[in-house]
Amino acid sequence: MQLFPCPFCGPRDEREFLFIAEAGKTRPDTTQNISDEDWARYLHSIRNDKGAVREVWMHLTCGELFVLERDSVTMEVNRSIPLRKDAA
């Protein structure tokens, strides 16, 4: 059972987390023209890399969305990167 580091809460059991998406995809501006191909790529194109991956996860108990860098083969977790900063 994996331990994932929530940027706010610290290490927690993997069951508290939900995979959201691979990191790095940007939603196209749908008020502009987007080709079918581009939209299909946004929807369905998934790298699913073997080895080092960057993913967006949600820590369900606190709701935080963050980027997780881990290894999809060894299950080693390298680090988590908050998408937000604490209020000053």
Partner 1 sequence: MTSHRVSSPTGKTLNFTFDGKAYAGVEGDSLASALLANGVRIMGRSFKYHRPRGPWSDWVDDPNAIMTVRKGGVELPNCAATTTYLEDGMEARAVNAWPSAAFDIKGGLDLLHRWLGAGFYYKTFIWPDWHLFEPAIRKMAGLGHVTDEVLDGYSADQLHDRCDVLVIGGGPAGLSAARVASQAGQDVCLVEDHKSLGGGARLSREIEGMDPDAWVATEADGIVQAGGRILTHATAFGIYDHQMVAIIEHGPFGAAPRLRRMRARRIILASGALDRPVTFANNDRPGIMSVAGACTYLTQHDVLVGRKIALACNNSFADDAEAMLTSAGAQITPIDPQSGPMEAMGGKTLRGLLQSGITHAVDTILASGGQTPLVHLWRHAGGKLDWCEERQAFLPGSTPINMIAVGGARGAFDMDHALAQARAAGQGEARPQGSDEPPRYHLTPLWPDPGSAGRQWIDFQHDVTLKDIELAARENYISVEHLKRYTTLGMASDQGKTSNMAGLAAMATLQGKPIPEVGTTTFRPPFVPVPLEIYHGHHKGQHWNPVKRLALEVEHRAAGAALGEYGGWLRPAWYGAGGMAARVPEEVKAARDGAGLFDASPLGKIEVMGPDAEDFVNFIYYNTIKTLKPGRIRYDFMLSEGGIVYDDGVIARVDEHRFIISCSSSHVDGVRTHLEAWRQDGNDPDRIFIHDTTQHWATLTVTGPKARDVVSGLALEADLTKGALPHMAFLEATWQDAPLRIARVSFSGDLSFELSIRRSKAQALWHALREAGAIPIGLEAMAVMRAEKGYIMIGKDTDGETMPHDLGFTVPREKKTAAFVGDRSLHMEVANDPARKQLVGLAVTEGSSMLPIGAHVVTDDAKPKSLGYVTSSYESPVLNAAIAIGLVENGHARMGESVTVWNQGETREAVITSPVFFDPDGERLRA
Partner 2 sequence: MRDDSQRWGPPRDRAREVTAPGITIRSFDIARLTLISGPAALSATQLALVDWPGVTEGDSYAISLRRDRVLEVNGPARPDGWDANQNLAISDVTDAYTHVEITGPATLSLLNRGTELDPDTPSRSAARLLFGLGVFLYRHSNSDTYRIHAGSAQDEALWHALKDAAKHLT
Mask: binding to partner 2, 33-62, rule CB under 8 A, as x and -?
A: ---------------------------xxx
The residues in 17-76 that bind partner 1, with binding defined as CB under 8 A, are 18, 20, 27-31, 34, 36, 39-40, 42-43, 56, 58, 60, 63-65, 74-76
The four Cα atoms 77, 82, 87, 88 give a dihedral, to 10 degrees, of 80
Distance between CA 7 and CA 80 in Å, rounded?
Answer: 6
To which residue do tokens 């959201």 refer?
A: 20
Question: Is there a contact between 27 and 42 (Cβ–Cβ < 8 Å)?
Answer: yes
Binding site for partner 1 (CB under 8 A): 1-3, 14, 18, 20, 27-31, 34, 36, 39-40, 42-43, 56, 58, 60, 63-65, 74-77, 83-84, 87
